[in-house]
Structures are given as C-alpha cells and as structure tokens.
C-alpha cells in the first residue's frame, strides 16, 4: 500500500512549475507500517523516505539547484508540522488473506524495503485472527551496512522465528558475487535460485519493491536461471502473473 501526498502550495514547496498557480502533483510513498501503526494505536503511519539529491554529471558534485521536491519537504519537516496526506492507494502489494501459511519471497533495494517491513510486523508482531504459519524470505540490496534499514527488527525475527523467516543481504560495496564483482540483490537471488524456483513452483508469492532500475538485472538473472533449468522464462512469468504470485511496485 502507498500513501499519497498531494503537496500543497506554500513557501517551502512553491508552485508546480508546469502548472503556474497550482500545487505540485501527488507523490507516492510506500507505507512501512500496518494499519495499527508503530504505536499500535491505529492513528499512526510510518514512511521510509530518502532525501533525493542530484549531482552535476560533469563535476560529480551535488547540484544544490535541484532537489527532490517531496522527499526534501518531508525530511525538512519538524514534529508538529501539518502535512496534507491521502490514501492509501494500490492493490499490487497486498498480502493474500486466503492462506496464512503461504510462502512470501520479498526482494527490495533501499527504501523499497518499506512494505516488507510492514508485512513482517503483521506476520510476527501483531495479534491477528489468522496467525502467520508460512515462510517469509527477505532479500535486501543496499550499498553498505550503514544503509540497512530496520536491520535490528529483521535480525530479531531471525532469532525468534528461525523456521519462518530468512534474511539475505546484498551489500554492493562490501560483498563480492561469485564472479568477483559487486554483489547486487540479483546475485544473491541467483545463489539460492534452486530454492527460489522450487518455492515458486509450489505457489509462493514473490514481491519486488525499489527503484525501477532494479528490475532489468533481476529479470535477466531469473531468465538465465530458468534457461539453465530447461524452462521457458517468458511462459513461467506469464503463469506466475496469471496465478497472482508476481507482485511488482517500482518507482
């Protein structure tokens, strides 16, 4: 699920440059908490926001004249500030409610971990009518250990639910893949490709969330693995989508 921010016109945000006099367009952010919120009061929602900055391609230095409009607005806001919010929106990243014992393979880069943090809180922290009895497997790709979000929470799930939660990290600036190059999330998936494909064949749901740029590399890896297994990836993907096992939310 995503929260929508119809950011209004004010001294910080300014006007929509493409529509003089009008507010900026809606911005979407994945919600990192369940309906109960981090305080379990049903009145809070958590977002995972990274400040968007831009760099001059010639100098390589930060271009202070260009900043992410909504991300900087949110990061600069202070406790007590009022922010216009609507939503939630979207049905792609919803957990299926018919099978509490399903397997969920979650693949994220950076702040794309937000919805999966919410899933895991739902599965392991909250008292719900149908207790989760399946397997949750998170693959998280970031640059280095300092960029790992909610790592303490995820590590705690490993200790408390070792038979139900798996957590694999790909740190591109710290880890090496089998070929000696940088370790990206698709490389980590490839390490466990036999298990991943078997789980998908058994009905597992697979989710992807992060920057759009994550998907080509992942798709190429899955296609290569499928071919090595003697499978037609295009046909397999078509079947996964038909079975509603394939969930993608990228930005």
224 is in an annotated binding site: no
Reply yes or no on whether the pLDDT at 14 is more than 70. Answer: no
Q: Which of 2, 29, 48, 73 is catalytic?
A: 29
Global confidence as pTM? 0.89
- Which among 112, 96, 83 is positioned nearest to 4, based on CA atoms? 83
Q: Is 30 annotated as a binding residue?
A: yes
Distance CA 116, CA 114 (A): 5
- pLDDT attached to residue 199: 98
- Residue 3: its pLDDT value, please? 54
Instruction: Establish whether 249 is a catalytic residue.
Output: yes
Q: At residue 85, does pLDDT exceed 90?
A: no
pLDDT at residue 13, as a whole number: 57
In this predicted model, what pLDDT tens digit does every residue of 221-233 receive, in sequence order? 999 999 999 999 9
Residue 30 annotated to the active site: yes
249 is in an annotated binding site: yes
Give CA angle at 113 (54, 92), nearest 5°: 105
Asked if residue 193 belongs to a known ligand binding site, the reply is no
Distances (CA, A) of 46 to 33, 114, 137, 148, 153: 5, 9, 22, 17, 15
As a whole-number percent, the residues of the chain with pLDDT over 70 amount to 94
- Residue 59 is encoded by which pair of tokens? 């100098």
100-124 per-position pLDDT tens digit: 999 999 999 999 999 999 999 999 9
In this predicted structure, what is the pLDDT of residue 153? 96
The full set of domains in the chain, from first to last, is 1-90 (2.40.30.10), 103-250 (3.40.50.80)
Catalytic residue among 48, 150, 157, 209: 209
Is 9 known as a binding-site position?
no
Mean pLDDT computed over 190-211: 97
Catalytic residue among 30, 70, 73, 119: 30
Question: What number is the average pLDDT over the span 143-155?
Answer: 95
Residues 193-214, mean pLDDT to the nearest whole number: 96
| 166 labelled binding-site residue | no
Question: Which pLDDT value is given to residue 8?
Answer: 44
State how far the Cα of 214 lies from the Cα of 206, in Å rounded to an integer.
15
How would residue 10 be classed by pLDDT, with cut points 50, 70 and 90?
very low
Decide if pLDDT at 12 tops 70.
no
Please give the angle made by the CA atoms of 196, 47 and 213, to the nearest 5 degrees.
50
The alpha helices in 161-204, defined as continuous H runs, are 185-191, 193-201
The reply to whether 58 belongs to the active site is no
Q: What is the rounded average pLDDT for all residues in the chain? A: 90
């Amino acid at each position: 699920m995503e929260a929508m921010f119809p950011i209004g016109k004010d001294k910080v945000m300014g006007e929509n440059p493409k529509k003089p006099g009008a507010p900026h367009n809606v911005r979407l952010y994945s919600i990192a908490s369940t309906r109960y919120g981090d305080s379990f009061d049903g009145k809070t929602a958590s977002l995972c926001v990274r400040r968007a900055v831009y760099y001059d391609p010639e100098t390589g230095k930060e271009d202070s004249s260009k900043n992410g409009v909504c991300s900087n607005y949110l990061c600069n806001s202070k406790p007590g500030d009022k922010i216009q919010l609507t939503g939630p929106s979207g049905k792609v990243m919803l957990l299926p409610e018919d099978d509490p014992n399903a397997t969920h393979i979650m693949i994220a880069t950076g702040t794309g971990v937000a919805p999966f943090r919410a899933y895991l809180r739902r599965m392991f922290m909250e008292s719900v009518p149908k207790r989760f009895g399946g397997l949750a497997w998170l693959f998280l790709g970031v640059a280095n250990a300092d960029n790992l979000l909610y790592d303490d929470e995820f590590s705690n799930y490993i200790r408390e639910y070792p038979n139900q939660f798996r957590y694999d990290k790909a740190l591109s600036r710290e880890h090496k893949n089998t070929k000696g190059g940088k370790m990206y999330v698709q490389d980590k998936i490839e390490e466990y490709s036999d298990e991943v494909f078997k789980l998908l064949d058994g009905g597992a749901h697979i989710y992807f969330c992060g920057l759009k740029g994550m998907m080509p590399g992942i798709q190429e890896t899955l296609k290569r693995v499928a071919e090595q297994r003697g499978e037609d990836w295009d046909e397999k993907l078509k079947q996964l989508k038909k079975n509603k096992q394939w969930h993608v939310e990228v930005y």
